[in-house]
Amino acid sequence: MGETLDRLPLPPGPNWTNIGAALRASPPTYLLNLFKKYGEIARFKGAFTVYAINNPDCVKNILTSAWPQYSKNTIDYKVISAVFGNGLVTSDGDDWARQRRIMQPVFSSRSVNSFDNVINKTTSALADNWSKQSTHDLIWLDRDMSKITFQVVSRTLFGTNIDHVSDEMIDILDLLNIHPMRLSALLRLFPWIPSPSNKRFLRANRRLDEIVYTLIEEHQLPGACQENIVGRLLAAKDDDSKASLTAEQIRDEVVTLMLAGHETSAVSLTWTFYLLSQHPEIEERLCEELESKLNGAPATSSDLAELSYLKQVVQESLRLYPAVWGVSRRSLDEAILGGYRIPKNSYIAITPYVLHRDPNSWPEPEKFDPGRFSPEQIKSRHSYSYLPFGAGPRTCIGAGMAMLEIQLILAQLLQKFKVIPITDQQIEVEAAVTLKPRHGLKVRLEPRIK
């Protein structure tokens, strides 16, 4: 086997890359250009060699068929673990399996569908707020979406209303979202270096800890509701030692869910509103569907089966702007992917942003066309050509919750308001941990006449 492997070529790619310039320009754009020039399996060298894998069969192999051969022990997961700690997103091996077992029941479809009431109430409070604005007032849509998704996560998963710290939390979480993708973030691997960015980061992290530890303590008070993630984590026991989780372990899970669970949905909502505003005919068709099925009322989780175009719009928006634009793995062994040799311990980059623009699966890839998600068209494609939520055992635990939340929030707000981005603003994609509008999104609101 070793000998056969040695005879296989390494994937093609440029001899040398100015990695700093590539990261500063935009990593997903660099990876897309690499794909266009070198194909589905490519390699480039910067500070270390990156194997960019965008062939659906190979991606299936890495994420599903041979998943134990690929770990999350990569530099970017190490950097984000400075905030996430050893929570469900960043952990590996037995730790991960145990954490997933504890949390999975809260994300079952039965449990998630029951969140519809809280999501609708939270949305209706925002709608009340919006209806007090005049059509000339400017709203930061990205900010409002962050707030609402943060409130949804804290009310549903943590069974708590922490609105009084939501503005502060969003600022902290936003800083922590951008920070890991800056080059200076690599300094987090050397946290003792007192760079201004490290100092800001440590301050934000300390305040985040204070808020989260208070939340955990409140759940330990007699009479506190235990039917939520924090309750489950507090009750969980180690399979072998029967020991409870430490406060630090619980903190890591809570922070992970706060971060993984709110900004992703918030940016997806923001991009969907933006795309709809740029495609009036699609927005109109969607509003007609909402009007005919809901007649002004909020949607419940059981209404969603009837709202097929709404789902297609969201799926297409997640194709063009996948909040998690890239995931990485480390190969634990030598492997063959697409006829190329991938050495042991290689850094593997799988990029939904690129996979979602492969013209073989997506003709006219930059065009916003929800029709791509009709049942017939879905059937005609490789299922690994579309991976907004990843795949395999490490697939997003919150995918069902995210889809529910995004559709319910859109259904309610779109029936009440036309969201109009102001014209003189620059719309630029920023690849932080999530794919976000770099300068935010400023909009005006027009109530829809009934």
Question: Distances in Å between the alpha carbon of 439 and those of 136, 176, 270, 427, 430?
Answer: 20, 17, 12, 7, 9
The encoded tokens of residue 425 equal: 């603003």
Give contact residues for ligand HEM (rule: CB under 6 A).
Answer: 88-89, 100, 153, 157, 256-257, 260-261, 264-265, 268, 322-324, 327, 388-390, 394, 396-398, 401-402
Q: Is 271 strand, coil or helix?
A: helix
Of 89 and 411, CB closest to ligand HEM: 89
Q: How far is the CB of 203 from ligand HEM (least distance, A)?
A: 25
Of 265 and 361, CB closest to ligand HEM: 265
Cα–Cα dist 315/326, whole Å: 17
Cα–Cα dist 59/55, whole Å: 6
CA 308 to chain centre: 22
CA dihedral in degrees (359, 363, 368, 372; nearest 10)? -110
Q: How far is the CB of 322 from ligand HEM (least distance, A)?
A: 6
Of 151 and 264, CB closest to ligand HEM: 264
Q: How far is the CB of 244 from ligand HEM (least distance, A)?
A: 21
CA dihedral in degrees (87, 93, 98, 101; nearest 10)? 90
Of 166 and 197, CB closest to ligand HEM: 166
The encoded tokens of residue 180 equal: 């890991």
Of 100 and 341, CB closest to ligand HEM: 100
Q: How far is the CB of 313 from ligand HEM (least distance, A)?
A: 14
Q: How far is the CB of 389 from ligand HEM (least distance, A)?
A: 5
Q: How far is the CB of 361 from ligand HEM (least distance, A)?
A: 18
Of 405 and 445, CB closest to ligand HEM: 405
Q: How far is the CB of 90 from ligand HEM (least distance, A)?
A: 8
Cα–Cα dist 448/450, whole Å: 6
CB of 62 closer than 8 Å to CB of 348 = yes
Of 153 and 276, CB closest to ligand HEM: 153
Comparing C-alpha atoms, which of 239, 183, 268 is closest to residue 441? 268
Q: How far is the CB of 289 from ligand HEM (least distance, A)?
A: 21
CB of 298 closer than 8 Å to CB of 412 = yes
Q: Is 343 strand, coil or helix?
A: coil
The encoded tokens of residue 194 equal: 């007192």
Of 73 and 244, CB closest to ligand HEM: 73
Say how many C-beta atoms besides its own lie within 10 A of residue 442's C-beta: 16
Q: Which residue is nearest to ligand HEM (CB)?
A: 398
The encoded tokens of residue 130 equal: 């919006």
What contacts 24+ positions apart, CB below 8 Å, involve 28-34?
A: 28/325, 28/326, 28/351, 28/353, 28/354, 28/429, 28/431, 28/435, 31/326, 31/349, 31/351, 31/353, 31/354, 32/351, 32/353, 32/354, 32/357
SS3 sequence of 181-238: HCHHHHHHHCCCCCCHHHHHHHHHHHHHHHHHHHHHHHHCCCCCCCCCHHHHHHHCEC
Of 327 and 443, CB closest to ligand HEM: 327
Of 201 and 271, CB closest to ligand HEM: 271
Of 340 and 389, CB closest to ligand HEM: 389
